[in-house]
A and B are shown apart, each in its own frame.
Chain A
């Protein structure tokens, strides 16, 4: 059984079908790429999967459990985290605090615990801090813990957002254009980082415009165009697919 199954998901905004019966599946341990021209519905699909949008029709299942139309925090609890295309950090909190927020869903301290600061709460708080620091190291921000999120460089903010998402202990991480705005060197580094991440057991689903990066990195790729999936498969096969070439380059009027 696939880790994530998207089945015939449709999303309509008024009369516009942003997603039209899209189906795809991500297997455990896979890096899965989602590509397509601007406005193809990639981010809409992300929002439908992670609970920010309700779906008009169809199903999304994580490990066989339906997650469509559930609240975002419930989906995170199931082990599915995401990042945003336009980075959404907590700008006035430090890098460390940002990642610590990600631990929320995996910790339990209640108001009473927080006020009384009993042994268990203190231990939990220490564990949250420690884990957050580890994650900052993992994404290469080990020394930036005390810096404000808004003061970090662009690439660092991208990585911080990933660290924050990882803090929720996802089995599947959805990254919305994680290397947008980066130079080729940074992109290569990020690609290496994604492989390293996959090796820790996190499956990746990423939206990306950089076709070269996607082809080198992803195990499988799906192509969206006008809200429809027009191709899916190994990157080489998808690259040669006439429908994909047509979507990206247009079709010559015959």
Chain B
């Protein structure tokens, strides 16, 4: 495609354009689609952060984790405990977010340690159980001592604040109004870029190769001197840290959390983002996360459209959402199991006879 080629040859220009686009995106979206869409954008970024974290565990190290949302929950609850009227603590976000990330990372190791010998289906079941345990704990720890406020959840969580400057309400800079959603957008974008950098650099490093080796053949990896236990725990911890960070941001952004936000369905959604986008490949994971956050919101318009056309809602968009989602996943598995933007490695694995193979044989003839 000539357009893609044009940008490929001019990486600096492309980056600049991308930066400008990302900087003005909330204003474009706000003006074009309405204020509520800026919040959708914020959530998309949070999910990108989550998906990037889960991608380390599932995409890089090949460990199927179905309880990933538990780390998100831990980060969120920790933020709420340390920065809300619940315990009367109001620590600043720059202290709470790292603590939440570390706590989640610690739980990542705690979950990882007993499951090291498990692979595939068995690991998936144990992690799924772990996710549910955390959620049920949060749901029930309101008696005898009220720790989590149970199913009612925790309210009035402090927003992100730098001294007196809080992310709540609208601020004006240079005559431009920045709403709370705008401010969170830039904050989340910063964290997403940081997470991308970390994930990309890890992928292309000694550690990333060790994860890939374990994913490919654990026995061979061990026989080549890789400490499979530590390297797997590291993957769990890294992924969980990202999750915990995202959880803290979520709590600050939302101002309210309850166990409902951390159900199994959420874990599955994040996994779907990775699978749909392209496991192990950062751009793919980001695309998957954005698509699966934005599309369901877009489907809501179908309800309005039906009301306008038919006078009533014949097909509930929420039902339609699950239906389309299911169909999309089945189609994906049939026609493009490697995801929309797969990593080269994953593509080779699922299409051994296609393109890359030809390239390799061309190479052979030269060699």
Contacts and interface: CB of A to CB of B under 8 A. Distances in A.
Main secondary structure of the interface of B (DSSP, over half): helix
Given A104-B210, A109-B207, A128-B206, A114 B201 contact: yes
Contact of B212 (A51, A73, A90): A90
Given A90-B217, A104-B209, A148-B360, A115 B223 contact: no
Interface in B176-228: 197-198, 201-202, 205-210, 212-213, 216-217, 219-228
Nearest to B200: A115
Contacts of B346: 92
Interface stretch (B7-15, B245-253, B349-357): B349-357
B363 interface: yes
A114 B210 CA distance: 12
A238 interface: no
A50 B223 contact: yes
B45 interface: no
Nearest to B234: A111
Contacts of B164: none
B348 interface: yes
B367 interface: yes
A183 to B, nearest CB: 19
Nearest to A91: B216
A82 interface: yes
A128 B352 CA distance: 28
Contacts of B209: 93, 97, 100-101, 104
Interface in B297-324: none
Contact of A90 (B198, B213, B228, B366): B213
B36 interface: no
B238 interface: yes
B224 to A, nearest CB: 5
Interface in B53-81: none
Contacts, number: 125
A104 B205 contact: no
Nearest to B345: A92
Contact of B224 (A115, A150, A168): A168
Interface residues of A, number: 48
A105 interface: yes
Nearest to A164: B224
B204 to A, nearest CB: 8
A72 B222 contact: yes
B364 interface: yes
A77 B225 CA distance: 6
A88 B206 contact: no
B226 A104 contact: yes
A115 B202 CA distance: 6
A143 B366 contact: yes
A245 to B, nearest CB: 35
Given A93-B212, A151-B357, A111 B224 contact: no
A101 B223 CA distance: 11
Contacts of A167: 224
A117 interface: yes
A165 B224 contact: yes
B223 A84 contact: yes
Nearest to A124: B206
A104 B206 contact: yes
Nearest to B352: A150
A128 B204 CA distance: 13
Interface in A135-160: 143-144, 146-148, 150-151
A114 B356 contact: no
Contacts of A52: 219, 222-223
Interface string B329-367: 000000000000000011011001000110011011011
A7 interface: no
A91 B201 CA distance: 22
A41 interface: no
A102 interface: yes
Contacts of A81: 223-225
Given A71-B222, A109-B205, A151-B360, A101 B198 contact: no
B224 A93 contact: no
A107 B206 CA distance: 8
B219 A88 contact: yes
Contact of B216 (A76, A92, A143, A147): A92
A107 B207 CA distance: 10
Contacts of A165: 224
Contacts of A134: none
Contacts of B221: 90, 101
8 contacts: A73-B228, A76-B224, A88-B223, A93-B216, A97-B209, A121-B205, A144-B364, A168-B225
Interface of A: 50-52, 71-73, 76-77, 81-82, 84, 88-93, 97, 100-107, 109-111, 113-115, 117, 121, 124-125, 128, 143-144, 146-148, 150-151, 164-165, 167-168
Closest 8 CB pairs of A and B: A105-B225, A76-B225, A114-B205, A143-B367, A90-B216, A88-B220, A72-B222, A151-B360
Given A90-B217, A101-B224, A101-B226, 12 more contacts: A52-B223, A72-B223, A73-B225, A73-B228, A92-B348, A100-B209, A101-B213, A102-B224, A102-B225, A104-B206, A110-B207, A114-B206
